[in-house]
Amino acid sequence: MAARLSVALASLAIMMVPAMAEETVLLHAAGSLRTALTEVAKDFEAAGLGKVQAKFGASGLLKDEIAAGANAEVLASANMEHPQALAAEKRSGPVALFARNRLCALARPGLEVTPATLLDRMLDPQVKLGTSTPKADPSGDYAWEVFRKAEKLSPGASATLGKKALQLTGGASSPPAPQGRSIYGDLIVQGTADIFLTYCSNALAAQRENPAQQIVQLPDALAVGADYGLTVINGASASAYKFAMFILSAEGQRTLARHGFAAPGLPQ
């Protein structure tokens, strides 16, 4: 892992050229990175390295925008596949693994649920199960990976969960996140979902706003991890390469770690 990160860092450094003037970095990033990368961007700007203009959303939709010619310089995705697809199409440079996450269950207050009973609760016809949108958003893809794992524990579970899952976020027509608040916590508050499969970092942010909401760890048999990939789009400004390096730096990695991500660039 460390070797891959070192190679990516070296590749990015080789491609960097001196900037004649500060330019605004155009960042496309996964919605789950909103709080963490907003802080990273503020630190980058405070260091006098440039400005950052960020667009957060579902990684798959952002990748499609870039592939269609959207004005973007850096993609920070909630999976490796989307940036790797851009790199394979010669639209971007190397892809670096810059953060790790995992799926958790965010549950409404009062719902009796533990890691051991989570699958039973998700299968309960009376329990509303929320997910993000597969293909458009990696979080949805990871939720369906949980469903596939559930099949080994309870035959028929994958089809049942896939049918009942409410794809509430991450789609092209999904409502935007409320300004400055967790959409996952709000959906639980509104009663739209009783359990929402989302990233543990998202669940933590939701619980900070709604302390009575529960975070349930997925048992080992259902556990799903998420690798986050970073790439710089061809033709990007020197400031964009600087910002990518800043995310991969110890300072950027510490910020990601504070927001609940595993940061592969930090010493173990």
Model confidence over 100-132: pLDDT tens digits?
999 999 999 999 999 999 999 999 999 999 999
Q: What residues have CB less than 8 Å from 150, skipping those under 6 apart? A: 119, 122, 157, 158, 161, 222
Residue 10 has pLDDT above 90, yes or no: no
Is 3.40.190.10 the CATH classification of the domain at 2-100+226-258? Answer: yes
How many other C-beta atoms can be found within 10 angstroms of the C-beta atom of residue 211?
7
pLDDT for 17? 44
pLDDT for 268? 60
In angstroms, the first-to-last Cα distance of the chain is 12
Contact 185, 210 (CB under 8 A): yes
d(CA 9, CA 245): 7
Tell me the one-letter amino acid at 168: L
Is 3.40.190.10 the CATH classification of the domain at 101-217? Answer: yes
pLDDT for 22? 66
Q: What is the pLDDT of residues 209-223, one digit of tens each?
A: 999 999 999 999 999
The residues with which 198 forms a beta bridge, in sequence order, are 104
Contact 176, 117 (CB under 8 A): no
How many other C-beta atoms can be found within 10 angstroms of the C-beta atom of residue 229?
26
Domain residue ranges of the chain, discontinuous segments joined by +: 2-100+226-258, 101-217
pLDDT for 7? 46
Residue 244 has pLDDT above 50, yes or no: yes
Residue 20 has pLDDT above 70, yes or no: no
Shared fold status for 2-100+226-258 and 101-217: yes
pLDDT band per the 50, 70, 90 thresholds, residue 265? confident
Q: Which of 71, 72, 68, 67 is nearest to 29 (CA)?
A: 72
Q: Identify the weakest region by mean pLDDT among 16-25, 37-46, 174-183.
A: 16-25
Given the DSSP bridges, would you call strands 225-232 and 96-107 parallel, antiparallel or unpaired? antiparallel
